[in-house]
Each structure stands twice: as C-alpha cells, then as structure tokens.
A and B are shown apart, each in its own frame.
Chain A
C-alpha cells in the first residue's frame, strides 16, 4: 500500500527566507507525486506534480520540488517566501492506473515578518 510521511507538523520561517518542506513516500512502483496547498477555510489547490521525466518540477507561485528516487523523497522548495505563503501544505502519492491519492498529514507553514 502506498503511504506518505510529512515529518514536520509545523514550520516557521521569516519572510524572504528560503523554505523546504519534506515529503517521503512509500510505493512499490514509480509514483505520481503531488503537492497541494490549503489556505484557511479553503479547498486544496494543486501546486505541482511529478509524473515522469525531469526530476525537478516547477509549479505555481514560485515553488519547485525535486523527486529523488533513491531517497523516496519529493521535497518542496521556495527560494524566498512571502507572507501570503502561510498555509497548510500536503504531499500526496498516486500511480498510473490508481488515481486514488494518498495524502500526508500536512505541514502548517507560518511566516513571520
């Protein structure tokens, strides 16, 4: 069975600082990987996704993520965070032919001035 671990429940960073959110997955075959963002009281919005090819993927809002098969990781990064990036971030794993996504427990991001 597929699973996702987000080891950081809550992260606080200063505005303008760099950000890395960790995601580790468990899946027997080549996974499809996703990052979603959820603002308070809102639904989830897709930031980026990896299916195949280049292991560094670019997403919306200046985010990027790198798929590292050897480490079973798909960490999300942003060079310089903005106050509007404060939200909860979810990593998810799926697969070809199995479109049921499994989500991690989320990382809440707080931005301080």
Chain B
C-alpha cells in the first residue's frame, strides 16, 4: 500500500520557471490537500479538494494552481517561480467518516528557487 506519493523529492528552479509537483494517493480518499512548510512557521494550507473536479483556496494560494481530474491525483502547479516559494511542500489526503478523520501525508518535495 503506497499511501500518498509525491514526486519529485527535490527540485531547484530558476526565478520565472514553472513546474508541477505531482501527488497521487491509492487509498480512494476524497479529500486532498497541499501544504507548504517553512522553518518556524508550521504548515500552511495552499489548496484543497473535496473530490474530483472540486478545488478551493487555502490560506496561501497566491502563485499556485491545482486541478483534480481524478480521485487519485492532485497536482500543484507553480507559475513564474519566485524565491518566496522556496519551501517544503506536502501533499495529504483524508477520508472523513462518522468517527472523524486523519491525514495521510506524502514524504514531501523540497523546492529551492534561485
């Protein structure tokens, strides 16, 4: 059982370049999330999705875009990369039940913009 898989694990981008961070889950979870983690700041929600075809902004969406064409995949797109987007990005998924829920996280993508 792979859980949540993120690729790539590391990436260096130049200012102004674009890239897509991939996230796939094999648990048939409806909910998926993208967070960024910066030192001393905890995790901040970028975008989330409650199902295929439905996405919404989180706390820090500027400079990012997402799509959710299937239940399994939730890619995060960075357009015109900026140094402020240097961070560690985590994808997560969950499936709320009557007993609540809990996130399953991927192992992260460390992105540096230079």
* Interface set of A (CB-CB < 8 Å, partner B): 4, 9, 32, 34, 36, 41-46, 49, 51, 90, 94, 96, 99-106
Contacts and interface: CB of A to CB of B under 8 A. Distances in A.
Contacts of A46: 102-104
B90 A43 contact: yes
Interface of B: 4, 31, 33, 35, 40-45, 48, 58, 90, 92, 94, 96, 99-108
B103 A32 contact: no
B40 A100 contact: no
A90 B43 contact: yes
A43 B102 contact: no
A43 B108 contact: yes
Nearest to A102: B45
B31 A99 contact: yes
A96 B90 CA distance: 23
